[in-house]
Amino acid sequence: MAVWWLLLQKQEMTQIYLDNKLTSVTLMKFVPQELVRYKSDEKDGYVAAILWLNKKTIERKEKKITTYSKMKEFKVDQSFIDAHKEWDLLTIDILKDIDSVNVTSISKWKWFQWVMKRHNFKGGPATHGSKFHRLPGSIGNRKPRRVNKNHPLPGHMGTDKITLKNIKVLDVYDDMWIVVLKWSIPGSRNQLVNVYLR
């Protein structure tokens, strides 16, 4: 099997019974993908394939214009080049013989967050006249008289690049183009997720 990347669209997260245990799963939708061209060592210095998503044909002034919503370039090996030609439309059948994949995604954007949500601080008492509820508390030292570097403080949270390895492919539905992955995949609904096939 060739080593390469694929793009899936996250749909929703739910739960199913797996071996009599309630397990969280993520439903991913296979997006129509088309191989435009390959890059070679002689011309570009490395071997890769360029992938286009969501091909649409728009008619403007009696002319048909082909547009794509996203482009993706991924590195491939020679076995993938031998199996697929340029302008091939990839189908969901590629994932049928795959047991596990690596997933790379961007986590949800959670805006500016305080220390209790961002760093799991305990917080202070909520009653009996206390005015210390969600504050970070003392953050300085006697020496040196400054805040140490990398100290947990409030700030921007989310939009982190997260890679999960060895995620099991539980099921593939051909009619709905749905792939069921085990556990929770980071990202928002309808977000494109990079899937690494091994």
Domain definitions of the chain by residue range: 4-58+65-108+162-197, 113-158
pLDDT score for 2: 46
Residue 1 has pLDDT above 50, yes or no: no
What average pLDDT is seen over the chain? 84
Q: What is the mean pLDDT of residues 178-192?
A: 91
So what's the architecture of 4-58+65-108+162-197 in CATH? Beta Barrel (2.40)
Q: Let me know: does 187 contact 29? Beta carbons within 8 Å.
A: no
If one compares 148 and 56, the residue with the highest pLDDT of the two is 148
pLDDT score for 52: 80
- Residue 93 CA to residue 100 CA, distance in Å, equals 15
- Residue 131 CA to residue 13 CA, distance in Å, equals 39
